[in-house]
Amino acid sequence: MRTIPVSQDEVAQDVRKIVVINGKGGCGKTTVSTNLASYYARRGYPPALFDHDPQTSTMRWLKGREKSMPEIHGVPVQIRQKLGVTRSWHLRVPPQTRRIISDTPAGLAGNEISEHVRGADCILIPVLPSSIDIEAGADFIRDLLIMGRVRSAGIHVGIVANRIKEHTLALQRLERFLKSLNIPVVARFRDTQSYVHAAEQGVGITELRPTRTVRREAEQWKRLVDWIESHSNPRGVSLHAHT
């Protein structure tokens, strides 16, 4: 049976919108977005994955995903809609959608930030453990809190420490920076080739064969999703009850 897509405002009331954002490119927004989408898909919470990046990396990842895998609906925001199709129709999602994940572009500033976080339940900010990324992250977080008005809107914000290497000076520097913020660190993902292997196959890391590395990373993804659900689900329903 063909499903008729609906607008984001028309989806079920228990839909949640998660925005993955950072003004600096190369911090792992697409990796976080695609892995989060695959995590939800496997647990029976059909996700819609919005790709706002002109490079359409998220859509390329989806094209490599096997049809037998749990479905993820992709929305290529930057691709021009077909002739005769309105933009609102182009951005519509399946009615069974329960989680909307927005992979935002780099270089956002000013009013662009507020436009991308509008309607979000949670905001995730990936940050890499390098001096350049830490400084850029600090500037962006300041702009997000001011321009995005996220706290006055009641939107929960979490930091994702990405591509970390344990027992390094870079990690120590990142940890000092994160402690200076009044924003929780909701997950710490290691710099491992497993993410590369997963991306090549159009899957998330938790969909790979459960090696020791994969299981360790899966613990962080569970921690991240638990935080998202506890801060965006008014009924406090545990996502992992559906596994």
User: Where are the domains positioned within the chain?
Assistant: 13-233
- DSSP-assigned beta bridge partners for residue 122: 18, 156
pTM of the model: 0.86
Neighbours of 95 (CB within 10 A): 13
The pLDDT value given to residue 12: 54
| Cα–Cα distance, 59 to 50 (Å, whole number) | 9
| Cα–Cα distance, 106 to 90 (Å, whole number) | 22
The pLDDT value given to residue 2: 36
Give me the helix-helix angle, 212-232 and 193-201, nearest 10°: 80
Q: Does domain 13-233 have CATH number 3.40.50.300?
A: yes
The pLDDT value given to residue 75: 93
The pLDDT value given to residue 14: 80
The pLDDT value given to residue 82: 53
The pLDDT value given to residue 109: 84
Cα-flanking dihedrals φ and ψ of residue 179, to 5°?
-65, -25
The pLDDT value given to residue 240: 41
The pLDDT value given to residue 6: 47
Residue pair 20/32 in contact by the 8 Å Cβ criterion: yes
Per-position pLDDT tens, the chain of length 243: 334 444 555 445 689 999 999 998 999 999 999 999 999 999 999 999 999 988 899 999 999 999 999 999 999 987 665 545 556 656 789 999 999 999 999 998 888 999 999 899 999 999 998 888 888 888 898 888 887 778 777 899 999 999 998 888 887 888 888 888 778 889 999 999 999 999 999 999 999 999 999 999 999 999 999 999 998 654 333 344 332
The pLDDT value given to residue 147: 76
Q: Which of 150, 148, 149 is nearest to 231 (CA)?
A: 150
